[in-house]
Structure formats: structure tokens, C-alpha cells
Amino acid sequence: MRPLLLIALVVLPTQALAQDTSLPPTFGEVALTSNFQPDPNRTQLQAGGAIRAEYTDAVTGTRCVGHFADAPDLRLQFTTADFGFPLSFYVDAREDTVLLVATPDGSFHCNDDSLGLNPALSFEEPQAGEYNIWVGTYAETGSDFPLAELGITELDPRIQSLERAFFGHDDRVIIDATTAPWNMIGFVDLSEANCTGTLIGPATVVTSAHCIAENGEITTPPVEFLAGFQNGEFVARSGVSGFHVAPGYLDGEQEGTDYAFIYLTDPIGEQLGWMDVGVLTPTEVSELQAGRGPDILQAGYSYDQQGVLTGNLDCPFIELGGENTLIHQCDTLQGDSGSPLFIADGDRYRLIGVESRTDDQPDQEFDRNVAMYTDYVLEELATLPPR
């Protein structure tokens, strides 16, 4: 278990305060006494606001910039106890969020990205009294405020935030990236970000469209593909000669098109091999729904283990959803976007899904992991000239 990040310093903002603790909280008020149950206490809210504010990051000491509302999102009235558990706040969201907490002594504490793209703040010796909490966003949101879940816990916030993503238990293992089929999977370098991709030909890689494009525009074109990447080493690497983003994704008119093809300058697939793109047979779907296999495998570069290929050796299959989706319970995080879901097919491997997103299900025990099924991928490949 990882240690808590504990905070003992009073952190002052770097500019005049725009967040007003006297205003009524937008999403309500809770009263908790130490050793509260259930733990964590969770509140669903909308993150972000119109005010850009800059504070000092309580964890890193660097800038902590976010877009917040003026009124608190949530107010906590907290009663301490003699046994003195740490008190932590964390955010679980699909967007890049920023957390701001005003403690009972009037000081402000800010954090960005302690949990991947999500923040967390922990207090070793929490004060009794009123806490005002804001969940902001790193980027401007305009009138579109993303959904987020604010957790309050006396346990490790890292474990709490990942519990839903891992369906209660993290089943990922570290993969030997030098051996087949794992060496066909690689690190997609997007210069300012990264995703996961898979060789599906001598010089063709498939990944998620959202890794490259956003709101109909190319935002982070791929720069390089490193096959079998692990801890700074790789089996093979290649630059990028071009890419193709599914038109249905760019124009936003067709669901189920979150996939893209990257074309490499070097045919490294001739050295490593590649996965076949295929769909499941009706018999395979029935067997998977009955829990009898075939085993679905997955691997990618999760944000919490930077530069390490981790994977699932037997992902639970849920269903083939509508609009070219495959619903599953592989344990995935940010960075796994574009990673393959595949099965053994004799002495080869068949790609059946491209990891896309997680849909929030706040009224359910767990969220919903969604991959793009390969039906549309096959159709798209058939329209493209051979490379």
C-alpha cells in the first residue's frame, strides 16, 4: 500500500482570493464525525467554474491553477475524535480536475494531479470545524461542466479512487514486453501526451482517435511508436509517416468510431509480427457471456505505472453494446486508451477491441469500461488503400 501524502503546512494563494467561503455551497453540506461510515463519503457534482485562480500546490510546491466557481461546491462540518485519523479529500473524474480546500483556520490548500489527472489532499491532524471545498478544472469549460465525484475519507485516497476503476480489485500484472504477443503493443508518443497502440500490419498501428483529435480537430499528432516499450527500453521503434482518424469521429456524426490508424516509416511488424483484426463469432459471444472463454487479454501504459506495460490476462466480458462497442471489465486507466483487447486464435492473435473510455455510473457499484468493437475498424480498413 502506498503511503498517504500528508500536509502540515498552511498554503496561501498567490493572488487575491476569488473563492468566497461565505457563499452557500452549490452541492450541499455534510456533517461527519471521525470514524464515520460509510467511508468514503461521496458527493456527485459538476466541476469547474468561470474564475481562473492560481494557488501554490500543497503537494509539489509548484503552481496549482484551476477554473473554479466562486461559491464552494461542498461544505463539510467535521468533528474530530481522540484517535485522530488522517482526513483526505479526492476527486474521481474523467476530466483533468483541480481540488481546493479551505480549512477551518481559513487557509487554502490546492492540488492538481496527485492521482493521475485527478487531485487529492490529505491532512494528518485534521482540524475540527468547517471545510469549504471546490472541484475545479484545469482547462476552461465554458458552459459544459464535467461530472465528478468528490470523496471524503479517513483511508488511503489512492485506493478509494481506483476501487471503482478496478471493479473492486486490481488484476493487472506487469507484462514481459519483449515476447509475443506483447511486443506487438507499444507506446504511442504524442509529444505532449501518450497512448497505447497495436501493430495490425507491417507498418500500421491502431489506437484511439481521441488520442490524436478533439472536437473535430487534430490536436496531438503522433510522433513515434515504440513497440515492446518497458522502463525506457524497447524492442523496436519507428517514426510516423502519417495517420488516419476515423471520419465518423472527426465529424461527430457516428458513434463507435473512436479509433485511428498510424502509419510507420519503418515496417517493424515484419520483425515482430502483428495482430489480425477480426470480430467474434456468435458462438464465441455466447461462450463469453456464459463465462467459458476464450480469455480476453489486454495491455497498455496506465498512468499510475509510467513507462511500464501492465495488462489483464482474463478480462470479464459483459456484452457487445450498441454502436460498435464492446463492454468489458479489464482494469484500465488513463494511458490505456488505444490499447488492444484480443484473444488467441490458433498460433496468431485476433484484435477484437480498441480501448476507448470509461462511462460514469454513479448509481452503480462500478463504472462501465467501453472499447470500440472491431466491426467498424474492419469496414474502415477496407475503404483505405493498401500500405
Terminal Cα distance for the chain, rounded: 47
Q: Helices marked H in the chain — which ranges?
A: 157-163, 247-250, 269-272, 282-289, 374-383
The pLDDT value recorded for residue 60 is: 86
> 193-228 burial string, b = 16+ CB within 10 Å, else e?
ebbbbbbbbbbbbbbbbbbbbeeeeeebebebbbbb
The pLDDT value recorded for residue 9 is: 35
How many angstroms separate the Cα of 366 from the Cα of each of 32, 163, 164, 165, 342? 24, 8, 5, 7, 23
pLDDT category, 10, cuts 50, 70, 90?
very low
Residue 48 has pLDDT above 60, yes or no: yes
Q: What is the pLDDT of residues 58-114, one digit of tens each?
A: 988 899 999 999 999 999 999 998 777 899 999 988 788 999 999 999 999 999 988
Q: What is the pLDDT of residues 253-304, one digit of tens each?
A: 889 999 999 999 999 999 999 999 999 999 999 999 998 889 999 999 987 7
The residues pairing with 29 across neighbouring beta strands, listed in sequence order, are: 75
Residue 195 has pLDDT above 80, yes or no: yes
> 239-259 burial string, b = 16+ CB within 10 Å, else e?
ebeebbbbebbbeeeeebbbb
DSSP-based three-state secondary structure for 125: coil
User: What nine digits make up the cell of 200?
Assistant: 495490425
The pLDDT value recorded for residue 2 is: 25
% of the chain with per-residue pLDDT over 90: 72
User: What nine digits make up the cell of 281?
Assistant: 463469432
Instruction: Kindly report the average pLDDT of the chain as a whole number.
Output: 90
Burial class (CB in 10 A: 0-12, 13-18, 19+), 363: exposed
Backbone angles phi, psi at 105, to 5 degrees: -85, 5
Is pTM beyond 0.95? Reply is no
Characterize the bridge pairing of strands 108-112 and 41-46. Answer: unpaired
Task: Tell whether the torsion through CA atoms of 29, 35, 37 and 42 is positive or negative.
Answer: positive
Q: What is the pLDDT of residues 229-249, one digit of tens each?
A: 999 999 999 999 999 999 999
Backbone angles phi, psi at 174, to 5 degrees: -75, 130
